Each structure stands twice: as structure tokens, then as C-alpha cells.
Structure 1
Amino acid sequence: MNAIDVKNLVKRYGGRAVVDHVTMTVAAGEIVGFLGPNGSGKTTTIRIMCGLLTPDEGEGHVLGYDLRTESLLIKREVGYMTQRFSFYEDLTIGENLEFVARLYKLRPVEEHVATTLEDLGLASRRDQLAGTLSGGWKQRLALAACIMHKPKLLLLDEPTAGVDPKARREFWDEIHRLARGGLTVLVSTHYMDEAERCHRISYISYGKLLATGTVEEVVRNAGLTTFVVSGAGLDQVAEALEGRSGVDQVAPFGATLHVVGSDQAALEAALTDIRDRPGVTVEPGETSLEDVFIQFMAGSRDNMS
């Protein structure tokens, strides 16, 4: 059974489609990364799926419930973590979780709070004011509040923005632990390393879903060719390559240049004279997920312009 199964979702604001005929499935127990530039429609799509917004068009089910007629039932079985920290900063961690437990009518409150604190490694900080927490600990509190009522689906909207790499790694370890227990996760992110930790990814740009699949499938289906240029005078090489036919991207990577194109023959032709430069080497490289996303962004039209 799919935890999420939606078809042709549309949401308009001011006559413009912020979500434009999005179709998506997420299997139970799967972690799916939801990627795209700012303003691409990720947050609006997530809010539709958790029952906070009603689509203007389209249909579907989340956890077996109808999006249009059973949104209240969806809300009860979904955990939604927003982009912004949304808990009371003048309350302690324990007091915030007690408040959430009462919202969900969990009984006994103290037992649910204590178990959640222990599971998320927050027990020792129970009496610390939420407003004094670092970004990583605020994130952990938000996750604790989202899973306290034992949801079947977790919707995370850029949950690790602004936290350090160690906290991000620990957060993702926790997400995979929850998924092994049967929880389904849809998470929006801008981080390529996080996308690569998902079972599958979906890419949305200006409301339209452009690609979905495993990371390997998305990279392969993009049809891009990448060459790595190394050696002397790479600034001049980059300047020479910009705008050439067949060259879609030129990006510095450490002491090398990544040169990317969608037409392999044209790209190789564009690099012919570069190969002949003294001290410069041109070798085939691996196309990265970032290369693919930059290509998607370059080829998409802003629906708000």
C-alpha cells in the first residue's frame, strides 16, 4: 500500500499555479526526498498532503484517506515539521512536549513525554528553556513533538536548514531508524548529501514535477555528460568555455573545472582546443546530482514572472 498516492494536484494563488498537476506516490516505509529551488511549490504540496490545504484540482489519498473529504483524519496520523521553529521559547523542552501531548489527547501525558524525551536523547535537557537551545537541539525538539503521537507519515519541510553537519548527520540517522520501524517520510531539502540518503527523490520546479526515481535513475535519465578539466590557467579556460555551443555548465570544483552538457558530441567539440592547451588535462567525469539540478533549474520557466 502507498502512504501517499496523489494525481494531478493543482493549487493556484492569484491565478497562477503554484502546484501544477503534480502526481506522486510514496510507498509505506519509504524515505523520499523532495527537492527544488525556493518558490518551486514544495511547501504548498506538503501542506496539501497533510490536510492543511485543499487542492483546486486533482485527487488522491494519504494513508488511505481521501485528500478532499477526510483531511481531519489525515492530520491525526501525520507528523508535520515546518521550516521555522514553532514552539514556545519561554517554555522548557518538557513543558512544550506536555502541551503537544495534551493537544493530541495522549494519556497519560507524563508517560508519553518521558518516553519521547528518552527516545530522542532529550531527557537530560528536559528543564532547559526552548529559546536557549542551539539549532540542532531545536530541531530534535521539533522532531520529538512530531512523532510523539506515533504518526504513520512524517512530512518534513527543510528540517535541517541552519544546523551544523554533525547535527544533520544525527538527524538523518534518526530518520532512518524511524523508517526501519515502518514510518514513511517525505522530506524537502536543498542539501545534495541528504538527497542521496533517501530511497528515492522527486524534483519539482515552478510547480511542475520534473523527475522522480532513485538518485542513480535521476542522474542517468538526465542525459548529461561531464568532463573534468585540470591544470594551469583554469580561470582563462572557464572564461573561454562560457557560452560555447554544447557547454551548459562550467563550475569550479576545488582545483578542477566541471564542464557539463546535454549534447555529448557538441560538448566534446567545444573542448577540442582546450585539450591542446599546454599543461591542461580533460578527462571524463561523473555527473553529480547537483549538476542535474542546476540543469533542471536552467531549463525551467518561472511561473511567477
Structure 2
Amino acid sequence: MGTVLEAEGLLVGYAGAPVCGEVSASVEAGEVLGIVGVNGAGKSTVARTIAGRQAALSGDVKVHGLLIDPDAVPFRRQVSAVFDDDLFFPSLTVREHLLLIARGHSLEHPEARVEEELEFFGLLGRAHAIPDALSSGQRRRLLLAAGLIRPSSLLILDEPEQRLDPRMRAAMGERIAAHAQDGGAVVLVTHDPQLLLATASTCLVIDEEVQAFDPEQGASIIAGS
């Protein structure tokens, strides 16, 4: 179905200092790339760089063959990313946030799509609440709903399991797998081995050296430095 994401010799970090080894990876349509490693290894930094939220120290990242550009409309249309530090409009309710995204991306029947997401994430009873009135877990579910309701060919999720109960973690695994089955590509940063096994086609272990392996077999298949 074609390559969605390509990273070649990607070095990420801050103030010129790398936080991990070089990353080289590709994700085809229908695949899920899991990114794992210990806390502080640089997993989220890799994901943020792929999403265009910070500049790479070196190397290239391409989406559908084009270098990433977070200011470009085609890039924003293709890529949906959920991180833990995303912000809300303080005066908009849960439903209004999702309607804004649904209408902004020209979804058919936006009201019905919003109701589906509210039900999936258990937010129907909080649909009229503003973000400050939500619990930490409810805010997390709203972020995920906002990332999943919009169309994307590349979905980037940074530890989506955070603050979710076991039932919702399992449901998220099903949603991630369904996104891939529908032809999307996914980059998934996670500490949850069950979520990883349920979704990932290939994994990158982020450390001073970066290794890729098959999550089912657990065997290293690519090594980088």
C-alpha cells in the first residue's frame, strides 16, 4: 500500500546534544511501529521530532516522500499526533472541542461522529464540561478522542495508555489495530507490553543504540548506532 513514514539517520535531542542513537525506520500503510525503552531514553523526543514538533539535530524524516513541515497544510492533513502536553481551549466544552475538529476536517455527519467518540471514551456524561472540570483521566481520553476523530494516514501516539483503566487500554488497542487495518500507519510509544503485542508490527528499542525487532518473536532484525 506504500510507504507512509521514512526516517533516515535521524538524530534527536536538545541544544545540539543527542538523547539517543540514530534512528532509521520506515512504516508502511497498514503497519504499527512500536517505540519502547526505559524512561528518559528519548522515545517521546523521537516521536515529537517525527511529528514535526521539534527540529531534528540531523537526518531526514519524510511523510509520503515529502520532508516533514508542520506549517504545511498537506502535512497537517496527513498527520495526527497525541502527546501529553497538548492544550485545550479553556472555554470550550468536551463536545465543542470534538465538533471543532470534526467540522474543521470536513467529516460527514460531524455531530454523529462526535457522539460516537464520546460514547467510546466514556465522556457522554461530561460532554458539557470544560477541560478544567475534568479529571486527569478524562482529559487524557478527550485528547485521544481529538486525535482519533480526525482522518489521518499517520497516527502518532505518545503513551496513550497513560491514566486509562484496563478496559479502555484494551479498547485503545483495538482502535489502533483498526486504524492500521484501514490502511493507516501508526507510530506508538508505549510502556504497556500488552498494548505493544496487540498492535505492533515492528518495534524500535530506543537507547544509546537503536534496535528494531519483531515484537512477536522478540528477535533483533536491524541495528543502528
Q: TM-score range by the shorter chain?
A: 0.7 to 0.9
Matched residues, number: 216
Q: Is 1:213 aligned with 2:213?
A: yes
Q: In the alignment, what sits opposite 2:105? A: 106
- The amino acid across from 1:199 in the alignment is S
Where do 5+ consecutive residues of structure 2 fail to align?
none
- The amino acid across from 2:112 in the alignment is A
Q: Is 1:204 aligned with 2:212?
A: no
1:122-161 aligned within 5 A: 124-125=124-125, 127-129=127-129, 130-133=131-134, 137-161=138-162
Q: In the alignment, what sits opposite 1:37? A: 38
* CA drift at 1:79: 0.7
Q: In the alignment, what sits opposite 1:51? A: 52
Identity, in percent, stands at 27
Give me the TM-score of the superposition, normalised by structure 1.
0.61
Partner SS, residue 215 of structure 1: coil
- The amino acid across from 2:203 in the alignment is I
Cα distance in 2 for partners of 1:45, 1:29 equals 21
Q: Tell me if structure 1 keeps the 8 A contact 2:11–2:57.
A: yes
Q: In the alignment, what sits opposite 2:116? A: 118
- The amino acid across from 2:174 in the alignment is D
1:164-175 aligned within 5 A: 164-175=165-176
Cα distance in 2 for partners of 1:83, 1:166 equals 20
* CA drift at 1:184: 1.2
* CA drift at 1:150: 0.6
Q: Tell me if structure 2 keeps the 8 A contact 1:106–1:112.
A: no
1:253-292 aligned within 5 A: none
Cα distance in 1 for partners of 2:54, 2:137 equals 29
* CA drift at 1:118: 1.6
- The amino acid across from 1:106 in the alignment is H
Alpha-carbon spacing, 1:64–1:32, altered in 2? closer, same or farther (3 Å): same
* CA drift at 1:89: 6.0
Aligned residues: CA RMSD: 2.9
Cα distance in 2 for partners of 1:83, 1:190 equals 14
Q: In the alignment, what sits opposite 1:181? A: 182
- The amino acid across from 2:147 in the alignment is C
Partner SS, residue 155 of structure 1: strand
Partner SS, residue 76 of structure 2: helix
Partner SS, residue 195 of structure 2: helix
Partner SS, residue 121 of structure 1: helix
* CA drift at 1:186: 0.8
How big is each residue's C-alpha offset from its partner over 1:88-113, in whole Å with a ceiling of 9 and x where there is no partner? 465322111133346xx33479x324
